[in-house]
Amino acid sequence: TPSLAAALLCLVIISGERFLPQCAGCPRDDRRALLDIQSFLSEHLPLNYWDSSIRDCCQWRDVTCDSRTGRVTGLDLDAFPYPPASPLNTSLFLPLEELQSLSLKNVGINGCMPGAGFEIWSKLTKLKVLDLSGNMLNDSIITSLVALSTIRSLFLNYTALSSAVTIQQLSTMKLETLDLSDNAINGTISTGICNMEILQELHLNDNMLFGELPSCIGNLTSLRVLDLSNNLLRVKFPSPSFAKFTSLVKLSLSNNHLEGVLFLSSLSNNRQLTHLELASSGNDFQLQTENPATDMSAQLQVLVLRNCNLNGNSAVIPRFLLHQHSLDLIDMSNNNLGGYFPSWLIENNVNLSYLILRGNSFSGPLFPPPKVHINLQWLDASCNKLSKLTMEINVSLPNLQYLNLSDNSFQGVFPSSFNNMVSRVGVDLSSNNFLDDIGAAFKMIGIANLILSRNNFYGSLPQELPPHFFSSSAK
């Protein structure tokens, strides 16, 4: 019968072949290897991480298999928070011959066992993605990783790397993604990185890199993500290198020492750009958006232009923003922007969650958008010259979680509509000229932190305020 024939076929193949998904799920060697890995990492993984009573390991958590052969192709381990540190036995992974993606993020690896370094994974000829982030490794492991010629995406963020030589060594690999962020890499960026011509993502943010960018970095014309933020780099403009990047999705240079003048129009060919983050740690940088006028064809999602001396401190808000409608975050702090508060930024971007405009010169009333905006959670308009709070702000921005209006020129009685704010995490109204009875003005029991110092409030706080509530009525 057909059923008997199928059963005999399974017996024949299982005895002479290691895999047949329609008969026995994943192959026995793969299943055994996973159980050996679980046993070795028993102190790092939750109890019964993989349920051995389930015969098909393709059904186990964080395991990916080929739909045709049943072989394990992906492994993404999820360890305990703060697991104990210990060396890894890399040889346990060798039976997973079809492995293409391996994530051992935050597993607690502090090196490899003698005779079983990372170079042994060169036998896994299909391995292309390797994530070792969040482990206590160091620069000594880099040589063994360079031996993995098939790797195309390498994640080594949060791994205690410290030497800039690491970048030079890894530049010999044929990588498409390299993430060395959130380490303590100290030194200059080697020109060797310019040889990584197929590199699409480069994350060097949150290190201690200094000096100038190699001029040859423009050779990396395939780059889609370049994140150099939070370093000590000197980035000079105008720069012909950045004009060569026409496929950028994210460019982040924030919190470095930017110098010279960047004409934003030079990035207008990046039609896929969604994240633009520029913030200088010094005062030698100017971002010019109006002369020549910027025709930004891309619809940005994140825009950080903090301390950029926008248009030479002309107080002009970049006009290209009139045509942006997909922004989730805007930060244009410390640019001396002037005029009325630009509520149109909120109105034009229905997904806007964060608006940070501190340290400018906006004046007059704080007008909320005319329509209800449900997504704005964070509004910081501190250190401006705003003088009036309108009654409608609580209605127009019902889901606002954080509001900072400190260091403005607000005065008089506090708007009673703020008593309806029931979901705020924090409100900072310090350093204004409010004059009101604090007990009558504030009945906002849903606010976790309220800062009122350096105003003219008087009276006693309402007794119903929660114990975590913070307030000061000091003048």
pLDDT tens, residue by residue, 363-406: 999 888 888 999 999 999 999 999 988 767 878 888 889 999 99
Is residue 351's pLDDT more than 60?
A: yes
* 3 confidence band (pLDDT: 50, 70, 90): very low
User: What's the rounded Cα separation, in Å, for the pair 231 and 226?
Assistant: 13
Is residue 254's pLDDT more than 70?
A: yes
For the chain, the structural domain boundaries read 25-129, 161-333
* 420 confidence band (pLDDT: 50, 70, 90): low
Q: How would you label 142-162 residue by residue, b for 16+ Cβ within 10 Å and e otherwise?
A: bebbbebeebbbbbbbbbebe
User: What's the rounded Cα separation, in Å, for the pair 127 and 148?
Assistant: 9
Q: Which parts of 98-148 fold into alpha helices (H)?
A: 142-146
Task: State the DSSP H helix or E strand holding residue 339, giving kind and residue range, or none if neither.
Answer: strand 338-340
> What is residue 417's three-state secondary structure?
helix
Kindly report the CATH number that applies to the domain delimited by 161-333: 3.80.10.10
pLDDT at 412: 86
Average pLDDT, the chain: 89
Could you give phi then psi for residue 47, rounded to 5 degrees? -60, 135
* 258 confidence band (pLDDT: 50, 70, 90): very high
Q: What is the pTM of this model?
A: 0.90
* 7 confidence band (pLDDT: 50, 70, 90): very low
Q: Which parts of 251-349 fold into alpha helices (H)?
A: 344-348
Give the CA distances from residue 128 to residues 29, 98, 151, 214, in Å, rounded to whole numbers and listed in that order.
21, 11, 4, 28
Q: Do 25-129 and 161-333 share a fold?
A: yes
User: What's the rounded Cα separation, in Å, for the pair 179 and 196?
Assistant: 14
The answer to whether the peptide bond before residue 292 is cis (omega within 30 degrees of 0) is yes
Q: Which CATH superfamily hosts domain 25-129?
A: Ribonuclease Inhibitor (3.80.10.10)
Q: In this structure, which amino acid lies at residue 341? A: F
Stretch 119-127: mean pLDDT = 97
CA atoms within 13 A on the CB side of 329: 11
